[in-house]
Structure 1
């Protein structure tokens, strides 16, 4: 295969390179296959990226060859790629603003995949708006596992439902999972984060042997940490359908609640993450299980 060749993606000319370069050595999964995955998953992925500043984690030499976070648009960003200059709260480099890439279309997604931007992360808010999604991260402290995350997810689903809040689960693509809740987009990140913290504390009090809501890592072994702080305005969460940098090309995968119930009982999805090929088959059969996130939700109750 030639090292570089030009393709047309929806009217945009792109130079793709090194498509046979293996980015997931244990699986023999190449850069060409990464681009193919993101191209095929684009119809359900792009709506979740639209209008959100994008943080990428790039692995130019594959998942075993080191990586770097990238928020700022690279110097060679094509002129047709949408960028937005936004404040940079908590910037590790002391920047006041960052020129973020916004992946609103397939050409941008393919361009990013060609840069080996394997992982895609977004905040819970769209540009110029308040959060329209609340996310809680369920992180198991060994020997707790994904099965225990599923148990906590069910508890949290029922508690949120008491407040009229719908929740939709997905795997992280690694060892944990997240619950995503559509909210009104009229309340600040602080309000959303405070509500998530309050619910996490309630569940910890009710299930102290299973759940921890405090940040201290020494409290986590054998429990599931409900990370309510994901809703901080400076934080991001892995996007649904994003690849993860694991030994195999696993994906942050939306789940149906009956799958979570099965996982809580010790069956899949508790056994292993879903790989890219299986996620494509799931979407072909089920569509986007997180589509309700795009329709908005209610305001969160405040104390």
Structure 2
């Protein structure tokens, strides 16, 4: 029998709680749901008002994975959906995760949470900038940290504050809170900084996606600032061999990173980090911290 639970007055059928989804660690679906319930406060704050895309992996990271922007079949009528422009002529609908019941419904589908850099009330007008730092082997997160620190200094020169998290995979995400600006303008600025970083550190940085250019270097991916693109949300689990989490970091952790394993955090690590640091990405939610995109 599928257990029925009530979350904030909504009845949810939570299925297969004993199913092992991460074979490497024996992590069950029930443990995943417990993780999302435990981190709901900060996660919901970063999902709030944004259309969500799901990377679903219902049989674990080794099974079938599929990316969906549309509300999945069977989406309850009480789940909020927003109209999102796909082009000048068409719109589609996407889920907006705004409460604990919706979060737990989505978590029961076994998903990564991905969001754009804009909110549903003003599509294509970004309130943050992102760089996705992706290491090309043999480069690792250690090299990503060096690049993140260089980007932080460059952004600071333009009066912008940067915050950093693990991607939950191999690299890092550097994010900047912005006074809202059109996504094309944010994209152009981000690309300019990526090109500049490659010119300054050609042995370490590449700004183009071509894989042949990337061995031993850090790809500074600026493309996720495009209005149609999304980035893994803070605190989302990832469909990796182990239940790793996209985890906000202190800059001291970035400065002190000497081995890639130092910046790998799994779902069991986050409760202690939140108790110790609170939400290190809380400044991204503070309008007072938002900077103006340089002209």
TM-score range, shorter chain: over 0.9
> Deviation at 1:96?
3.2
Contact (CA 8 Å) 2:166, 2:263: kept in 1 or not? no
Q: Match for 2:121 among 104, 125, 128?
A: 128
Matched, 1:18 2:16: yes
Q: Match for 1:114 among 92, 95, 108?
A: 108
> Deviation at 1:67?
1.1
For 1:233, the equivalent position in structure 2 comes to 227
Matched, 1:171 2:166: yes
Q: Match for 1:196 among 186, 190, 194?
A: 190
Following TM superposition, the consecutive aligned residue runs of length 4 or more in structure 1 with deviations greater than 3 angstroms are: 269-272
Matched, 1:31 2:29: yes
Equivalent-residue separation in structure 2 for 1:74 and 1:252 (angstroms): 23
> Deviation at 1:88?
2.2
Equivalent-residue separation in structure 1 for 2:231 and 2:212 (angstroms): 23
Q: Match for 1:67 among 44, 47, 65?
A: 65
| RMSD of aligned alpha carbons | 1.5
> Deviation at 1:17?
1.1
Contact (CA 8 Å) 1:139, 1:227: kept in 2 or not? yes
Q: What SS does the corresponding residue of 2:247 show, helix, strand or coil?
A: coil
The unaligned stretches of length 5 or more in structure 2 are none
> How many aligned residue pairs are there?
291
Equivalent-residue separation in structure 1 for 2:23 and 2:234 (angstroms): 23
Q: What SS does the corresponding residue of 2:11 show, helix, strand or coil?
A: strand
Q: What SS does the corresponding residue of 1:100 show, helix, strand or coil?
A: strand
Matched, 1:290 2:256: no
Q: What SS does the corresponding residue of 1:74 show, helix, strand or coil?
A: coil
Contact (CA 8 Å) 1:135, 1:231: kept in 2 or not? yes
The superposition leaves residues 171-229 of structure 1 with CA deviations (integer Å, 9 ceiling, x where unpaired) of: 000100110100001x2101101111111111111111011112222111111111111
Equivalent-residue separation in structure 2 for 1:251 and 1:75 (angstroms): 26
Matched, 1:145 2:140: yes
Give the 5 Å matches for 1:275-286: 275-286=266-277
Contact (CA 8 Å) 2:133, 2:219: kept in 1 or not? yes
> Deviation at 1:279?
1.4
